Amino acid sequence: MDIKAINEMIQKESAFVDTLTSEVGKTIVGQKYMVERLLIGLLCNGHILLEGVPGLAKTLTIRSLAAAIDTRFQRIQFTPDLLPADLIGTLIYNQKEGKFETRKGPIFSNFILADEINRAPAKVQSALLEAMQERQVTIGEETFKLSEPFVVLATQNPIEQEGTYPLPEAQVDRFMLKIKIDYPTRDEEILIMRENLNGMPTPGTPVMTPQQILSAREAVKNVYMDEKIERYILDIVFATREPSAQKLDKLAPMISYGASPRASINLALGAKAHAFVKRRGYVIPEDVRSVAMDVLRHRVAVTYEAEAEEVTAEHIVQEILNHVEVP
């Protein structure tokens, strides 16, 4: 297919984007950045880590998006006493039948909101890890496939760190994006205040089907990406591992370890999905730059020296994006 044909096909396939964001916008004031990133994660079959202070409508946004796509939504509050069985389900003994029966847990939904994910212990995280990576759950000796689309949207509270467990690096790396959510503007907040005084907002009505999302995922794969863009992605990712190669010697002592190959894959996928959301059939460097921070901020580990100088992973990623030559 030539670029013109791809562009026409993507414009046709992405027609639902405006309808979907408009439907979510009936419930959510502002937060366009969060809604767009949730849609990119959904189109890429990727999981998302959300970080923000309480009260920024994270749960309501995810619930509204699930309602607009006519999918099942499940919120799981992660606590220190949570067990894997509370998440995935367990075997229950049926006395009448004289045998064990499988009782499925809340993980068997399409949109899973793992609220305050870092409050649960390691064995719960490992149970969630199988669901995230393999799209399946093992209960006893049986393995069950999870229905598509399946997306884990996990929240972290950046303020309250008492009684939390640091997420394992292997799990953090499996989140495609890490989104930082900020406060609404004054104009947005006055609208939020007025709407809530009239009654709690409720999720909207379905405007599309899960099958359309699965079809859109296939269309995203067809978005054209030039070889120069591919090299640009690799330049950014390799700069987190070998900053000296990009003449960023000052960053070398600040990076403990760089981004994994998952970063390259997710950056390419995210750039394609961003182009799709913008209703374009080809990737431009701005697509890569737009999603780069969300893809890389949780994949770059800083050293003690960097922490002492109050240099964060975001500072390092921004420095790399400013320095690497744009094609």
CATH number of the domain at 76, please. Answer: 3.40.50.300
Which tens digits make up the pLDDT trace of 133-176? Answer: 888 898 888 889 998 889 999 988 766 566 666 777 777 888 99
Q: Are residues 191 and 290 in the same domain?
A: no
pTM (global) more than 0.85 = yes
Angle formed at CA 77 by CA 72 and CA 78, multiple of 5 degrees: 125
Q: Are residues 109 and 155 in the same domain?
A: yes
Q: Are residues 58 and 94 in the same domain?
A: yes
> Could you tell me the CATH number of the domain that includes residue 233?
1.10.8.80
Q: Are residues 226 and 171 in the same domain?
A: no
Q: Are residues 37 and 181 in the same domain?
A: yes
- Would you state the pLDDT for residue 161? 62
- Would you state the pLDDT for residue 224? 92
Instruction: Classify burial at 155, counting beta carbons within 10 Å of its beta carbon; exposed 0-12, middle 13-18, buried 19 or more.
Output: buried
Residue 24 lies in a domain: no
- Would you state the pLDDT for residue 29? 82
Domain count, the chain: 2
Structural domain that includes position 254: 219-323
Residue 205 lies in a domain: no
Last residue of a domain, one of 195, 228, 244: 195
Residue 212 lies in a domain: no
- Would you state the pLDDT for residue 322? 92
Residue 142 lies in a domain: yes
Q: Are residues 173 and 37 in the same domain?
A: yes
Residue 163 lies in a domain: yes
Residue 79 lies in a domain: yes
Contact in structure between 242 and 255 (CB atoms under 8 Å): no
Residue 210 lies in a domain: no
Residue 20 lies in a domain: no
Cα 230 to Cα 272: distance, rounded to the nearest angstrom: 11
- For 64-205, strand residue ranges (E) read 73-77, 89-94, 99-104, 111-115, 136-139, 142-145, 151-156, 175-180
Last residue of a domain, one of 127, 160, 195: 195
Q: Are residues 57 and 188 in the same domain?
A: yes
Q: Are residues 315 and 243 in the same domain?
A: yes
| Size of the chain in residues | 327
- Would you state the pLDDT for residue 1? 64
Q: Are residues 257 and 292 in the same domain?
A: yes
Orientation of helix 227-241 relative to helix 285-296, angle to 10°: 30
Last residue of a domain, one of 180, 195, 210: 195
What are the residue ranges in the chain where pLDDT is below 50?
none
Contact in structure between 249 and 237 (CB atoms under 8 Å): no
- Would you state the pLDDT for residue 192? 84
Q: Are residues 234 and 187 in the same domain?
A: no
Q: Are residues 179 and 303 in the same domain?
A: no
Q: Are residues 159 and 48 in the same domain?
A: yes
- Would you state the pLDDT for residue 159? 63
